């Protein structure tokens, strides 16, 4: 028969450790949990009183910094769209030109070190928005700023902000979009918007062009049909702009969309193999 002592012992084990017996969280041996260190120097040393971030805190701070960048990026629900989540058909082999896979390669190289303008041009379902979001997400995961904006939304904002009835001289979104180191503009097209909204959009792009700020544009409109002032920027494939045409069977509709007839494609465009 089990002794009373054994029964009590078993009951004790079953209820688990008490609060006092809980393992204590491991205290950082360097900073004792403070998160910061001070130089061990005399008061006449210039480093006296200076705080150094302890290694145990650094990764947490970096995580929070990226969270703030993501908040400001306006990427919203497209945070899940990455280069890894893009479905490739030609794994392990060189993709044919003008396929989504070729565009994936170009976009991935660009995302590592964005320079100049990258224009992704293709019909619906070619994955250009996915690739544009993946560029933004790649920058953000590296702890670098990027802003992702859908052009019709931007135009709506510009129209309401800069209408002739307002005398706005400063607008935060306008300044952000104008100057962010990496801007992704999704769905640039032939939106009919107010003249002043179009003018503001042109000002943004012209400024970014002149300052050579990294800019990604997606469009399903032939560059020939884009507003002439923007076309001259987007079509500058001898200079700042890399134009990548993407053709694919529409994933949703099962039909092939060619973005434009061959005769309407600009003669000087397109590095045929989609390389930068
Ligand atoms: Zn520490």
User: Does one domain contain both 195 and 120?
Assistant: yes
Q: What is the domain range of residue 234?
A: 77-264
Burial class (CB in 10 A: 0-12, 13-18, 19+), 124: middle
State the distance from the centre of ligand 1 to the C-alpha of 133, rounded, in angstroms: 36
Q: Which tens digits make up the pLDDT trace of 60-101?
A: 888 899 999 999 999 999 999 999 999 999 888 889 999 999
User: Does one domain contain both 203 and 220?
Assistant: yes
Q: Which tens digits make up the pLDDT trace of 232-243?
A: 888 888 889 999
User: Does one domain contain both 136 and 251?
Assistant: yes
Domain count, the chain: 2
Is pTM beyond 0.85? Reply is no
State the distance from the centre of ligand 1 to the C-alpha of 60, rounded, in angstroms: 11
Answer yes or no: is 3 within a domain.
no
State the distance from the centre of ligand 1 to the C-alpha of 32, rounded, in angstroms: 6
User: Does one domain contain both 137 and 39?
Assistant: no
CB 226 within 8 A of CB 151: no
Answer yes or no: is 237 within a domain.
yes
State the distance from the centre of ligand 1 to the C-alpha of 87, rounded, in angstroms: 42
User: Which has more pLDDT, 190 or 18?
Assistant: 190
Answer yes or no: is 269 within a domain.
no
Name the residue among 122, 39, 119, 131 with its Cα closest to residue 85.
Answer: 131
**Residue where one domain finishes, among candidates 73, 98, 132:** 73
Q: What is the reported pLDDT for 197? A: 85
State the distance from the centre of ligand 1 to the C-alpha of 202, rounded, in angstroms: 49
User: Does one domain contain both 151 and 195?
Assistant: yes
User: Does one domain contain both 36 and 102?
Assistant: no
State the distance from the centre of ligand 1 to the C-alpha of 222, rounded, in angstroms: 56
Answer yes or no: is 270 within a domain.
no
User: Does one domain contain both 198 and 168?
Assistant: yes
User: Does one domain contain both 68 and 81?
Assistant: no
Percent of the chain with pLDDT over 90: 54
Greatest Cα-to-Cα distance within the chain, rounded to the nearest angstrom: 96
CB 36 within 8 A of CB 52: yes
State the distance from the centre of ligand 1 to the C-alpha of 53, rounded, in angstroms: 8
Answer yes or no: is 203 within a domain.
yes
State the distance from the centre of ligand 1 to the C-alpha of 224, rounded, in angstroms: 58
* C-alpha angle 132-138-144 in degrees, rounded to nearest 5: 110
User: Does one domain contain both 82 and 50?
Assistant: no
Answer yes or no: is 55 within a domain.
yes
């Amino acid at each position: 028969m089990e002794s009373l002592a054994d029964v009590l012992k078993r009951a004790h084990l079953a209820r688990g450790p008490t609060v006092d017996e809980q393992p204590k969280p491991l205290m950082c041996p360097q900073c004792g949990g403070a998160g910061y260190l001070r130089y061990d120097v005399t008061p006449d040393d210039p480093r006296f009183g200076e705080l150094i971030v302890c290694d145990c805190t650094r990764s947490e701070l970096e995580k929070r910094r990226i969270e703030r960048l993501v908040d400001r990026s306006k990427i919203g629900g497209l945070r899940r769209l990455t280069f890894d989540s893009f479905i490739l058909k030609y794994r392990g082999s060189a993709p044919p030109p003008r396929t989504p896979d070729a565009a994936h390669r170009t976009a991935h190289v660009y995302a590592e070190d964005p320079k100049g303008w990258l224009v992704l041009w293709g019909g619906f379902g070619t994955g250009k928005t996915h690739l544009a979001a993946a560029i933004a997400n790649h920058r953000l995961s590296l702890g670098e700023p990027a802003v992702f904006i859908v052009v019709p939304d931007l135009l709506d904002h510009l129209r309401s902000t800069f209408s002739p009835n307002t005398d706005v001289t400063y607008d935060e979104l306008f300044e952000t979009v104008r100057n962010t180191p990496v801007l992704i503009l999704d769905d640039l097209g032939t939106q009919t918007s107010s003249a002043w909204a179009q003018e503001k959009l042109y000002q943004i792009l012209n400024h970014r062009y002149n300052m050579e700020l990294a800019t990604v544009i997606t469009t399903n409109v032939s560059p020939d049909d884009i507003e002439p002032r923007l076309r001259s920027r987007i079509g500058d494939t001898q200079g700042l702009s890399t134009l990548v045409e993407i053709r694919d069977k529409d994933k949703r509709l099962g039909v092939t969309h060619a973005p434009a007839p061959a005769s309407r494609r600009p003669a000087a465009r397109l590095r045929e193999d989609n390389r930068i």
